[in-house]
Amino acid sequence: MFGFQDKEVMPAEAVGAFQKLPMVMPSVDILYSALRKAKRVSPTKGIANVAKRERNRGAKQLDALMKELAVPLRTYKENFPNRKDLHPYERSLVELTLGDGNYEEVLGKVDALRKKVVSVGKEHASLCAKSLTKREAEERLIEGMKKIEEMFNREGKAIDDLLNIAKTLRAMPVVNLETPTLCLVGAPNVGKSSLVRLLSTGKPEVCNYPFTTRGILMGHITLSYQNFQVTDTPGLLRRHDEDRNNLEKLTLAVLSHLPTAVLYVHDLSGECGTSPSDQFVIYKEIKERFGDHLWLDVVSKCDLLSDSPVVFITEDSSADDFELAKYRRMGPDGALRVSVKTEAGIAQLKSRVHELLTSQSAKIKGWNSNEETLEALR
């Protein structure tokens, strides 16, 4: 089961491991390149006896084929990081993207193929070296080459799977842990993306994750000569973690593992499709779990709000819950009311966002200072 820590984590490891993954060659290219190089290997000079020369040539070519195949596979095994050594956020992305255990499984298959290549190569090189005649040496060379080629063709899919994993992970967006980040959170369609566009300097970039059906906006804010990041996250629905889809899990991964400030967006207009009552339940859960984050609440689409709070037909409008009734009317205590359409409250929002991100910047510097102190004491 996918698990998340329930409080903000100070960044210990650095992100960016995916961009350092080695380039993986297709299995067919590795095989044909190895075969070409192996077949060009000549016997040791000075061997006059025909049978000995052929034994020597066969053993050397099989040994060369073994090494040409095994070396890149060993390189992949050594240069793809152990998942436990990744930053927690990147560990989450590996699981969300590839599924639990698939990363390790593919690496394991690649290494198992390497071991088989070495074993079969050594076995047939040894048999070739023990041949009594030129003809026997030639036959054992052909047999050994064929067996290795067939095995590589049969099990080389693991290499191609690793190639696709590398492509997928290398294309993941990189979040700069040194730059304060504002993360917009809330139910689907509450107006997060519109606020990202409004707050960002220039046109926000679209970050595509392989498991998303749409791009996620990542923008940049420049305030008082300081640079900040701002991103929307996939909307959260009212359900248990084990029932959440990968989009929702991405939101929880961001909140669990990245040093973000939270701009929580509420839509009380009835337009977003999630009732205010459900939004209230989601909000209380997320606030309880991630209350250690710097936090700002915003009620969006205030131009659509009327004096009477929206009550969905599925809700009990007479429920005796003062806190919920108050939320339906005003949102959380201290929430800003804004409208992208009329720009109501936008100036105040930008000012509050600047304060929030400046505080987040100081928080990150404090973490880094603590890390340097701990490193010096080690």
> Taking residues 317-336, what's their average pLDDT?
83
Mean pLDDT of 98-119: 96
pLDDT band at 6 (very low <50, low <70, confident <90, very high): very low
Residue 365 has pLDDT above 50, yes or no: yes
**CB neighbour class for 81 (10 Å; exposed up to 12, middle 13-18, buried from 19):** middle
Supply the CATH classification number for the domain 181-376. Answer: 3.40.50.300
Give residue 2's pLDDT band: very low, low, confident or very high (50, 70, 90): very low
pLDDT of 89 strictly over 60? yes
User: Phi and psi (nearest 5°) for 229?
Assistant: -110, 150
Average pLDDT of the segment spanning 111-131: 96
pLDDT at 310: 61
Position 58 scores a pLDDT of 96
Q: What is the pLDDT of residues 210-233, one digit of tens each?
A: 887 677 888 998 877 788 999 999
Among the listed residues 85, 80, 243, the one whose alpha carbon sits nearest the alpha carbon of residue 168: 80
**Region of poorest pLDDT, from 14-28, 107-121, 201-215:** 201-215
> Which pLDDT does position 8 carry in this prediction?
42
For position 225, what pLDDT does the model report? Answer: 79
Q: How many residues in the chain?
A: 378
Q: In sequence order, what DSSP letters do the residues of 202-264 get, joined into one string? A: SPPEEEPPTT-SS-EEEEEEEETTEEEEEEE-PPP-SS-GGG--HHHHHHHHHHHHS-EEEEE
Mean of the pLDDT values across residues 19-35?
96
* Element housing 336 (H / E): strand 336-337
**Is residue 337 scored above 90 in pLDDT?**
yes
Token pair for 78: 């050594």
Domain boundaries, the chain: 17-171, 181-376
CATH architecture of 17-171: Up-down Bundle (1.20)
Report pLDDT digits (tens) over 242-283.
Answer: 899 888 999 999 999 988 999 999 999 888 989 999 999 999
Burial zone of 237 (CB within 10 Å; 0-12 exposed, 13-18 middle, 19+ buried): middle
- Please report which helix (H) or strand (E) contains residue 140, including its range: helix 134-155
Query: Rounded to the nearest 5°, which phi and psi values hold at 294?
Result: -65, 140
Model confidence pLDDT, tens digit, residues 176-203: 888 889 999 999 999 999 999 999 988 8
pLDDT at 171 over 90: no
Contact between 27 and 157 (Cβ < 8 Å): yes
Nearest residue to 282 (alpha-carbon basis) of 292, 297, 271: 297
Query: Which range among 209-213, 306-310, 331-335 shows the weakest confidence by mean pLDDT?
Result: 306-310
Give pTM, 2 decimals: 0.82
Asked whether the beta carbons of 79 and 102 are under 8 A apart, the reply is: no
Is pLDDT larger for residue 378 or for residue 252? 252
Fold match between 17-171 and 181-376?
Answer: no
Mean pLDDT taken over the chain: 88
Model pLDDT, residue 372: 55
Lowest mean pLDDT among 5-9, 22-26, 43-47, 120-124: 5-9
